[in-house]
Amino acid sequence: MQAWHFTEMPYPHLPPLETLKTMRVSLASKHYDPKIGADLYNRYLDEYMIADELGLNMLLNEHHQTATCIDVAAPLSAAVLARQTSKGRICILGNPVANRGDPIRIAEEMAMIDCISRGRLDVGFVRGVPYEIFAANTNPTQTVERLWEGIDLVTKAWTTTEGPFNFEGRFTHRRAVNLWPRPYQTPHPAVWITGSSDLDNIKRAAGRGFVFATFLQPHAKVKWMFDGYRSAFMDTGLPGGGGTAYMPLVFTADSDAEAEAGARELTWYLDAKSEPQYRNPPGYVPVEFNVQALKGAFAGRTEAMRKQSIEFLKDQGVLIYGKPDDVAKQIHRLYDLVGGFDNLLMMGQAGHMSHERTVRSMKLFAKEVYPQVRDLARTKPLNAKVAAE
Amino acid sequence: MSAAGLDYRFLKLGGVDIEVGMQGAGSPVLVLAGEEQLENTLPLIGELAKSHQVVVPSAPGFGKSARPDWMTNPDDIAYLYLDLIDAMALKSLAVVGFSLGGWIAAEMAVKNDRAFSKLALVDPYGVKIGGPFDVDIQDIWTSHPDKVAALKWYDRTKGERDFTKMSDDELSIVARNIESFARFCWDPYMHNPKLKQRLHRIKTPTLFIWGENDGIVTPAYGKAYAGLVPGAKFASIAEAGHYPHIEQPAAFNKILTEFLG
């Protein structure tokens, strides 16, 4: 099992939350102090460099118009780390190709980072959470189609080495695509896809040999998704060989009291406030889901986890915390409950959690937990092609 | 749609299955419903059907009409409805369009209004009047639902719908309508940048009917829109928002009936 350090790079120094209507999309930037922001950017990048020294991999993402995440351009932070770290893998999870609207630019950026890092890059693609629709003004009824058309174009651009090709798709038209540089890795870096409910999408990722990742979901649902992935996996020869990834909040401490204190700080992320119109833009989820929403029975993915006790979150495998042996035990339990998984994406910093506390937890994990989980077997995806033969 | 007298059938137009409600006999009136299809069950339909053949199509993705992927804006719907007029051989046709339906009616008229006798547009979207930084049409998708309701209705209690009392079939239509409205109108937001330059082509006698208290598209927007259509008249209705035909049906029906003659 591979372990990854992750922070959304939050900007938590806000007025009292009860005085704000939202932390996302429409929070005025007068609440952002550039000097504090400068400190935060450098601090979060320092933490990734420490993660690298500790033998952890580095996971980055991006969001827009939100205090929950000031990494608004993951390729920039990945480029910094490609140059400033030397060992760990770097994964952007992911490039919001549906919202960025320029797949070729993404292909170029990823190829360049892959070269600078000498092949340490994994490239995720995401459809983007509902809030992101508004910052990009993407039509919310077409994000899945935009995602896959973008991936098709990026992978074709990476792997076409004999000169220009033509692409006239539904959303992008380019008549002379000819990528320089091409990626360091062959045929191209591992591709990761995220998902939270759409099984067809998960199987589509599996069928292309991509890694499938999901975040902060109850373990029963994670198993359902991972089983779906494993049932449809095809090895297409990509570096890393596909696999599954799960992101819980993770905090490791010397004492139970300190562990609980850290765990409570991490749940800041789950309590991020937003206004209702940003949570479920029209057409973002299928009509069947919106029928339930109209009845008041569906309010979005993270809503289900809001305001739950840390004990509940721990039982669900969404929040892992404790002394090193306890943390290792919880990871083993989660591994068994979901039928195994290959990448532990640790949201190890959130909200107001200090640099010292974050690094202490990372160090304890790297030294005392990782050796207990590193050798958990790679899951054995059913190779659908072999099974068919 | 539950029956309010409309008899629904399906027509295949350009390969797309389109649901069409029909009622009454006489000179034809094409009613283009708004994005919520609230018009289909109004008494207004029955009133018009006393002396007209009333035709109420569901736009692609609305009601039970299919929505092919290639259709992305109201311009596409307008061509489909021109096919509908041909397929039903409708002549000397009065067209009444509400909100999104009004926009579609305007898109039809700039292409070919030879079959039209009258054109009534009720609080339509469709054009941008101001500059890039001006909000011509209030953003219903980035605004809090309470604000949207306040902008849309003079008396918002008239717009309340109890979704918990609807069947899944009815809710599916509500959800489809919400989704398809976004499919067609998200970007450019609620307007076609070309339409403004084409409105001069309309030869049909045209009446804009506007709720005085419409906060989504204001009467000032409506008057500027009407000013782009040669000879168009403008009528406003007091104590009414975006749906004057629902908030003030008597005043609305009087204006519309006089106009249709």
Quick: pLDDT tens for A267-285: 998 888 889 999 999 999 9
CA–CA gap between residue A150 and residue A137 (Å, rounded):
17
CA dihedral B191, B193, B198, B199 (to 10 degrees): 40
Fold held by B7-260 = Rossmann fold (3.40.50)
d(CA A336, CA A330): 10
Q: Looking at A87-96, A230-239, B145-154, which range is the least confident one?
A: A230-239
> CA A276 → CA A187, A303, B146, B147, B161, distances in Å?
43, 11, 10, 12, 18
Question: What is the mean pLDDT of the segment spanning A211-237?
Answer: 95
Contact residues, B window 178-197, toward A, CB-based 8 Å cutoff? 178-183, 186-187
Tokens representing B149 are 């309701």
Q: Is A354 on the interface with B (CB under 8 A)?
A: no
Is A26 buried (19+), middle (13-18) or exposed (0-12) by CB count in 10 A?
middle
Q: Are A99 and A138 in contact (CB under 8 A)?
A: yes
- Residues in contact with A354: Cβ distance below 8 Å, sequence separation at least 6, in sequence order: none
Question: How far apart, in Å, are the Cα atoms of B229 and each of A64, A149, B95, B109, B198?
Answer: 41, 41, 15, 10, 9
Q: How far is CA A259 from CA A12, A70, A105, A263, B257, in A?
A: 21, 26, 42, 6, 74
d(CA B212, CA A319): 54
Domain ranges of chain B: 7-260
Q: Which of B176, B186, B187 to mutate to test the interface with A (most CBs of A within 10 A)?
A: B186
A341-to-A319, A320, B2 alpha-carbon distances in Å: 16, 15, 50
Note the ipTM here: 0.92
Interface test with A, best of B70, B71, B142, B163 (most A CBs within 10 A): B142
Cβ neighbours around B49 below 10 Å, total? 18
Q: What DSSP character marks residue A366? A: I
- Bigger pLDDT: A347 vs A299: A347
Confidence tier at A386 by pLDDT (50, 70, 90)? low
What does residue B206 show for φ and ψ, rounded to 5 degrees? -125, 135
- A-B CB pairs within 8 A amount to 65
What pLDDT was estimated at residue A273?
Answer: 84
Query: Considering only CB atoms, which chain A residues are within 8 Å of B63?
Result: none
Q: Which of B30, B39, B140 lies closest to B85, judged by CA? A: B30
Q: Which of B178, B180, B185, B190 to mutate to test the interface with A (most CBs of A within 10 A)?
A: B178
Q: How far is CA B64 from CA A15, B169, B172, B181, in A?
A: 48, 10, 9, 14
CA nearest A55: which of A5, A121, A122, A92?
Answer: A5
Q: Are B120 and B222 in contact (CB under 8 A)?
A: no
For residue A260, give the H/E element and its range.
helix A256-266
Taking CA–CA distances from B171, the nearest residue in chain A reads A291
Residues 120-149 of A with CB under 8 A from B: 134, 137-142, 145
The shortest C-alpha distance from A24 to chain B (Å) reads 12
Q: What is the pLDDT of residue A272?
A: 84
Comparing alpha-carbon positions, the chain B residue that sits nearest to A139 is B186
Chain A interface, best mutation among B70, B138, B141, by max A CB count within 10 A: B141
Tell me the pLDDT tens digit for each residue of A289-322.
999 999 987 665 556 666 689 999 999 999 999 9
Q: What pLDDT score does A164 carry?
A: 98
Out of B143, B166, B179, the one facing A282 most closely (by C-beta) is B179
Strand partners, A214: A246
Distances (CA, A) of B234 to A14, A352, B31, B219, B248: 49, 58, 19, 9, 17
**Residue B4, pLDDT score:** 52
Q: How confident is the model at residue A174 (pLDDT cuts 50, 70, 90)?
A: very high
Residues A291, B164: C-beta atoms closer than 8 Å:
no
pLDDT tens digits, chain B, 261 residues: what are they? 434 589 999 999 999 999 999 999 999 999 999 999 999 999 999 999 999 999 999 999 999 999 999 999 999 999 999 999 999 999 999 999 999 999 999 999 999 999 999 999 999 999 999 999 999 999 999 999 999 999 999 999 998 899 999 999 999 999 999 999 999 999 999 999 999 999 999 999 999 999 999 999 999 999 999 999 999 999 999 999 999 999 999 999 999 999 998
pLDDT of A389 > 60? The answer is no
Name the residue facing B168 among A140, A281, A291 (closest C-beta).
Answer: A291
Determine contact: B173 vs chain A, CB below 8 A.
Answer: no
Domain boundaries, chain A: 2-388
Option in B143, B144, B171 nearest A291 (CB): B171
Any idea what DSSP says for residue A386? H
Could you please report the per-residue DSSP string of A103-171?
HHHHHHHHHHHHHHTTS-EEEEE----TTHHHHHT--TTSHHHHHHHHHHHHHHHHH--SS-EEEE-SS
Provide the H-helix boundaries in B205-261.
Answer: 219-226, 244-247, 249-260
d(CA B145, CA B148): 5
Task: Report the distance separating Cα B47 and Cα A232, nearest Å.
Answer: 58
Q: Whose CA is closest to B73, among B201, B176, B191, B221?
A: B191
A26: nearest CA in chain B?
B142
Pinpoint the alpha helices (H) of B186-234. 219-226
Q: Tell me which CATH code domain A2-388 carries.
A: 3.20.20.30
For residue B244, with 0-12 CB atoms within 10 Å meaning exposed, 13-18 middle and 19 or more buried, which class applies? buried
The amino acid at A27: L
- How many C-beta neighbours within 10 Å does residue A162 have? 6
What is residue A306's predicted lDDT score, i.e. its pLDDT? 67
Cis preceding-peptide flag for B231 (omega within 30 of 0): no
Rounded distance, CA A233 to CA A383, Å? 5
Q: What is the pLDDT of residue A299?
A: 61
For residue A6, the one-letter residue type is: F
Q: Mean pLDDT of all residues in chain A? A: 94
Contacts of B3 (CB under 8 A, 6+ apart): none
User: Residue B69 and residue A191: Cα distance in Å, rounded?
Assistant: 27
Average pLDDT over residues A340-356: 97
- Indicate if the pLDDT at residue A382 is higher than 80: no
Please indicate whether, in this complex, the C-beta atoms of A141 and B179 are within 8 angstroms of each other: yes
Give how far A167 is from chain B: nearest CA, Å: 18
Cα(A73)–Cα(A77) distance, integer angstroms: 7
**Long-range contacts for A29-36 (Cβ within 8 Å, ≥24 apart)?**
A31/A67, A32/A67, A32/A70, A36/A11
Q: Is A277 in Cβ contact with B144 (below 8 Å)?
A: yes
The pLDDT of residue A384 is 55
pLDDT confidence band for A197 (50 / 70 / 90): confident
Q: Which of A25, A276, A294 sits opposite B174 (nearest CB)?
A: A294
Cβ(A373)–Cβ(A332) under 8 Å? Answer: yes
pLDDT (0 to 100) of residue B2: 39
DSSP notation for B135-178: -SS--TTTS-HHHHHHHH-SSGGGG---GGGS-HHHHHHHHHHH
| pLDDT of A216 | 94
Looking at the DSSP bridge assignments, the partners of residue B95 are B30, B119
Residues 6+ apart with CB under 8 A from B248: B211, B237, B238, B239, B240
- C-alpha span between A85 and A221 (Å, rounded): 35
DSSP string, B36-83: T-GGGGSHHHHHHHTTEEEEEEPPTTSTT----TT--SHHHHHHHHHH
B175 interface with A at CB cutoff 8 Å:
yes
**What average pLDDT does range A117-134 have in this prediction?**
96
> How close A377 gets to chain B, by Cα (Å)?
44
